[in-house]
Amino acid sequence: MQRNLVISVDYEIYGNGTGDVRQLMIEPTERMARICEKYGVPLTIFFEAEEYLGFCRYAQELKQSLGYDPARVIREQVRSLARRGHDFQLHTHPKWFGAAFEGGRWSVRPEELSADELFESQAQADDYISSRKAVLEEMVSAAAPGRKIRAYRAGALRAQPGGKMLAALAANNIVVDSSVVLGLQDYKGRHLLDYRRAPRNRRLWRVRDDVCREDADGAVWEIPIHSVMRRRFHQLTPERLKAKFSSRAPKDRKREIVQHLGIPKNPFQLARFLFAPIPIKLDFHNLSPNALMRYIRSAPPPAADDAMDVLVLIGHTKEHTDDRAFEHFLQLVGQDSSLQVVGFDAVIDELRNSPRPVSRSNSLCSTAG
């Protein structure tokens, strides 16, 4: 079975509304896309629709403040990339829902939310996904007729609790969610994000009301972002530090990163902090090309009843600073005949032809918090 790689990138500025769209989205995405085209592979772009709608609502104010219309340049790029064969899928941060641009700054919700937390009723969640999908699909299909949006990634990976969100995806013919990182837990927000009990050693599984519980009758596939368990100090790579603390990152964003880590000052607590086991995502902006290839090649084979062998990699347009490293990674992939890069469209087409598996797991995400 050939190993499929999805090179996915989240297309967005910083979550607090800071950053320049041209610098953090348009320019790095174009450079990545051109490198992908050189090697004949698609870039999968998770388009932040909620943020884009804010740019649309305040187009005049933003043009006066910035000297250009962010929504317009985004539309132009999406159509260009879709025409060139790149893969677009849906991404939303509910914290941008109802965001306002006032006094030259964005005001967004103070904490990360899931789609479930944002709405009281299932009908509201259904309409939310439907309208955001329609916005992106209209742009993409204008350049690539017949293309549909069929995959989703939750903002800040917050797919818990997931009952309303998964039902809304299914109602809108979105058949893949790619939000889970095996082993990840995060105490921000109203609910504990805890993916430690997701099915282990699975490439993908069907879900219905919980992204971590396999359900053979589920209409949505969970295809996790691939990760490997290591110690926290393994996360402190030169690539990650360069991406997170680049000169383009606003000072308040850098402070947020440090505060969220909660680095202890006590030397004994610091040692425990650094040696704590954590999942390291296959993030091509935070790992070297050689490290990525080691992790890809060392991934265990898929389970016997997995529909396919697929590993999802992740990056962020705002963290792309090194074209040479990205190209070197694609060179290494191209030299390995056991690997191929595909978009989620190709993954979903293959899954549609797969038989439904017999449910073999009752793993549940923790919903404590």
**Does 359 reside within a domain?**
no
Provide the pLDDT for residue 191: 58
Tell me the per-residue pLDDT of 323-333, one tens digit each, with 9 for 90 and over. Answer: 999 999 999 99
**Does 288 reside within a domain?**
yes
Tell me the per-residue pLDDT of 133-191, one tens digit each, with 9 for 90 and over. Answer: 999 999 999 999 999 999 999 999 999 878 999 999 999 999 999 999 999 987 665 55
**Does 275 reside within a domain?**
no
What's the domain count of the chain? 1
**Does 244 reside within a domain?**
no
Cα separation of 264 and 243, whole Å?
Answer: 23
**Does 93 reside within a domain?**
yes
Q: What is the pTM of this model?
A: 0.91
Q: How confident is the model at residue 361 (pLDDT cuts 50, 70, 90)?
A: very low
User: Could you tell me if 24 and 316 are in contact, meaning their C-beta atoms sit under 8 angstroms apart?
Assistant: no
Provide the pLDDT for residue 238: 77
Cis preceding linkage at 161, omega within 30: yes
62: region left, alpha or beta (phi > 0 left; psi from -120 to 50 alpha): alpha
Question: Of 9-23, 79-93, 266-280, 349-363, which gets the smallest average pLDDT?
Answer: 349-363
**Does 306 reside within a domain?**
yes
- What is each CA distance from 109 to 94, 212, 307, 321, in whole angstroms? 8, 27, 39, 28
142: region left, alpha or beta (phi > 0 left; psi from -120 to 50 alpha): alpha
Provide the pLDDT for residue 277: 87
Cα separation of 133 and 113, whole Å?
Answer: 19
Cα separation of 54 and 51, whole Å?
Answer: 5
**Does 155 reside within a domain?**
yes
17: region left, alpha or beta (phi > 0 left; psi from -120 to 50 alpha): left
Q: How confident is the model at residue 55 (pLDDT cuts 50, 70, 90)?
A: very high
CATH number of residue 326's parent domain: 3.20.20.370
Candidates 151, 63, 152; CA nearest to 114 is 152
> What percentage of residues in the chain have a pLDDT greater than 90?
72
Q: Which domain holds residue 17?
A: 3-227+280-352
Residues 252-277 have a mean pLDDT of 71
User: Could you tell me if 208 and 215 are in contact, meaning their C-beta atoms sit under 8 angstroms apart?
Assistant: yes
Q: What are phi and psi of 11, to 5 degrees?
A: -105, 100
**Does 264 reside within a domain?**
no
Residue 33: Cβ-neighbour burial (10 angstroms; 0-12, 13-18, 19+):
buried
